Structure 1
């Protein structure tokens, strides 16, 4: 038995296929979901979502949202999603380094919050791009 996984952004249905297992980036850490998982709703953090199909692992960059798991159907509602094919690895690495430097230099609460948000986005995109090169 497998999961029906549907990832939706405000613009479109980003991914809608069968999966054997998924790993979600929740606000409290990573959470794995297999077939017959207990029903739940969870908030999603900015992070990498891993999807295991019958033949491969797929990495996606998610930019926060929610996930609903019920009766082997997983609905993921996110602000933005990107696959490795849509991410330029060199650009992602440069953006990650720039965001890291900006976070280290941030002063004041507002600047630190904004820099941390940009850092998490850049780190996630870089991780997905890097995983696809393996």
Structure 2
């Protein structure tokens, strides 16, 4: 038995196929989904979705959204997504360094829009880099 996984961003269908297992980065922690999982809806955090297909793990960087699991179908609707295998690792590392520097400049500010934006950019850069390192 397998799962059908669909990962959809506003501008593209990132993944649509069969999977043996899916690990979602929910806002409450990582969620493992296997065939026969109960129906559920969960919020997705900025992070890396891992999918096991044909015995190989692949990664997809996600920018938050929602996931629904029902009848061995997993539908992930996110604000943005990219296959780890399509992300350039050197560019991702450079973006992470830039994001760290930007965050450090606003880190002492209390509840500012700039601080929130810098934190989101930092989280995004970390997820993109992590997806490149865990891509098969």
TM-score between both structures, scaled by the size of structure 2: 0.92
- 3-state SS of paired residue (1:38): coil
- 3-state SS of paired residue (1:37): coil
Q: Which residue of 2 aligns with 1:11?
A: 11
Q: CA RMSD in A?
A: 1.3
For these two proteins, the number of residue pairs brought into alignment is: 133
Unaligned runs of at least 5 residues, structure 2: none
Task: Supply the distance in 2 between the matched residues of 1:131 and 1:39 (Cα, whole angstroms).
Answer: 28
Contact 2:59–2:85, Cα closer than 8 Å, also in 1: no
Contact 2:50–2:57, Cα closer than 8 Å, also in 1: yes
Spell out the pairing of 1:45-124 with structure 2 (5 A cutoff): 45-106=45-106, 107-109=109-111, 110-124=113-127
TM-score between both structures, scaled by the size of structure 1: 0.93
1:104 Cα deviation from its structure 2 partner: 2.1
Task: Supply the distance in 1 between the matched residues of 2:85 and 2:59 (Cα, whole angstroms).
Answer: 10
Task: Supply the distance in 1 between the matched residues of 2:78 and 2:114 (Cα, whole angstroms).
Answer: 24
Q: Which runs of 4+ in 1 moved over 2 A?
A: none
Unaligned runs of at least 5 residues, structure 1: none
